[in-house]
Structure 1
Amino acid sequence: MTLSPVLKRLASPLILLSLLPFAAASCGGGDDDTPPPKTVLSVSGDVTTQTQFTLAQIQAQPATTQTVSFGSGTGQQTHVYTGASLWSMLNQIGITTNAAVKNDVLAKYVIATGSDNYRALFAMGELSPDFGNRGNQVVYAETINGTSAALSSTDGPLRVTAPGDVKGGRYVSNLVTLKVGTAVSAVHVAGGGTTTQFQLSGAVATPASFDLAALQALPAVTRTVGTTTYTGVSLWNLLNAADIQASSTIKNDLLGFYLIATGSDGYRVILSLAELSPDFGNQPDIVAYEMNGAPLTTTGFARLVIPGDGKAGRYVSNLLALEVVSAPR
């Protein structure tokens, strides 16, 4: 039988040798049977590198152990968790910021989402050691009766913590994604100056405008920071009175909301609404209109004050606007 030219070429030794790697790859056996490490956590959004972590990679991060207590549907819980710092992990990957914008990281947030699409939002200022320093972790182990063990099947293999929260709504179990976002504001800034009023808008049923008289007509609270005593109104009460438009059909929908505070010069920071809610972070933040018994002057008639922060980067002077936003899903 005479071979066709095509078959003669296929039968040549060089062609046969060139096919061997493909033949070997298609056969079982040896190390090729070992499945690749499974991704347990994806990090995306406004980061330098979209990253997928395996459990082993997370366990290789510098770890700390923390004891946390929080309320749940089954009563008060106390846990000892081991894991990696959420802030450190995000910074290792690289949070995308604009160097030309002062404290641009304070306009960023991260959303932690579980395998069931349950989510909770954390403001970067809340996480940063320079500001809120909450100590949130991505945890993979729990100490039970003095013995460290993997998280239970209901919580694991990963969970994010929210130290200091009153209730456990932001302890997202079966954590699968972290998405970094940037606040999107609808407020137009004219370019500075001393403010005499600010607007409350966004995802609220009752938008409003506040001047000094309007603030002074509300129940007053005081907060002392170092040697300075501020007088003003509770930020949470101000927002709650405007009726935040969270969905009643989505479990803890409020945990996906954030607040943008904007000054007259365009300086912008965000807080998660969970930071403010008495059910979760319960932070005593205020919109101040007096400092040590005297009206604010060059800092505008109203100033956002965050008493628990290490630095004053989230103290927004010449307050121009407060916007309530539900982060996109």
Structure 2
Amino acid sequence: MCHPLAAAAQVAEVALTGDLARPVRLTVPDLLAWPQHRARVSFECATSGIRHHRFAGPLLYDVLSDAGPAFDPTRRKDRMRFLIAVTGADGHHAVLSWAEIDPDFGRASVLLAASIDDAPLDRAGPQLVLERDRCGARHISGIRAIRVDGGYAART
């Protein structure tokens, strides 16, 4: 039988940090507690051609909203200055704007996928899935960190 600490070490964690009221570390089992959204995605991979996958997981917007982004409620459209940097275990990075995922603006359905083709991603870590992207470059595997940063625009 496996030692409990050894089993826990095999579950990948994602650190949500930055301009958040409630920074947190999440695992795939944590993400499974959120409402699950499904997406069938086809994207072009530079090294292996067209890829087809089925993903399931919560929306990035829902997870980050729960962490309490530090929007200034007295400033109209303050959330538009926030960027989201996502880093995978292999060092792959992608940056999204808050406006892209916000239902009041871009409404992009961006998943923190907890499974791919019905296989859980507990050990590998969740994947960033942008179902509208034609190219797979922003599909980040094994996410280890998501940083929310509102310091990119001039503050007046």
Q: TM-score, normalised by structure 1?
A: 0.39
1:277 equivalent in structure 2:
102
2:73 equivalent in structure 1:
248
- For the Cα contact (< 8 Å) 1:195–1:319, is it kept in 2? no
> What fraction of aligned residue pairs are identical, expressed as a percent?
28
Q: Separation in 1 of the partners of 2:144 and 2:121?
A: 14
Q: What amino acid is the match of 2:78?
A: D
- For the Cα contact (< 8 Å) 1:195–1:320, is it kept in 2? no
- The CA deviation at 1:266 is 2.1
Q: What amino acid is the match of 2:147?
A: E
1:264-317 deviations in Å (ceiling 9; x for gaps):
22221100000000000000000001112112388x221111110110111111
1:221 equivalent in structure 2:
37
Change (3 A) 1:297 1:248: closer
- For the Cα contact (< 8 Å) 2:86–2:146, is it kept in 1? yes
Runs of 5+ consecutive residues of structure 1 not aligned to the other structure: 1-193
Aligned ranges 1:304-323 → 2 under 5 Å: 304-323=128-147
Q: TM-score, normalised by structure 2?
A: 0.81
- For the Cα contact (< 8 Å) 2:12–2:122, is it kept in 1? no
- For the Cα contact (< 8 Å) 2:89–2:142, is it kept in 1? yes
- For the Cα contact (< 8 Å) 1:199–1:210, is it kept in 2? yes
2:117 equivalent in structure 1:
292
Q: Separation in 2 of the partners of 1:257 and 1:283?
A: 15
Do residues 206 (structure 1) and 22 (structure 2) align? Answer: yes
Indicate the SS of the match to 1:313: helix
Runs of 5+ consecutive residues of structure 2 not aligned to the other structure: 1-9, 43-51
Change (3 A) 1:297 1:247: closer
Change (3 A) 1:296 1:212: closer
Q: Separation in 2 of the partners of 1:229 and 1:280?
A: 26
Q: What amino acid is the match of 1:224?
A: R
- The CA deviation at 1:247 is 0.8
1:26-56 deviations in Å (ceiling 9; x for gaps):
xxxxxxxxxxxxxxxxxxxxxxxxxxxxxxx
1:67 equivalent in structure 2:
none
- For the Cα contact (< 8 Å) 2:125–2:144, is it kept in 1? no
Aligned pairs, number: 135
Q: Which has the higher contact order (CA 8 A, sep 6+)?
A: 2
Q: Separation in 2 of the partners of 1:250 and 1:239?
A: 20
Deviant stretches of 4+, over 2 Å: none
CA RMSD, 1 decimal? 1.7
2:5 equivalent in structure 1:
none
- For the Cα contact (< 8 Å) 1:195–1:318, is it kept in 2? no
Max radius of gyration: which structure? 1
Q: Separation in 1 of the partners of 2:28 and 2:121?
A: 10
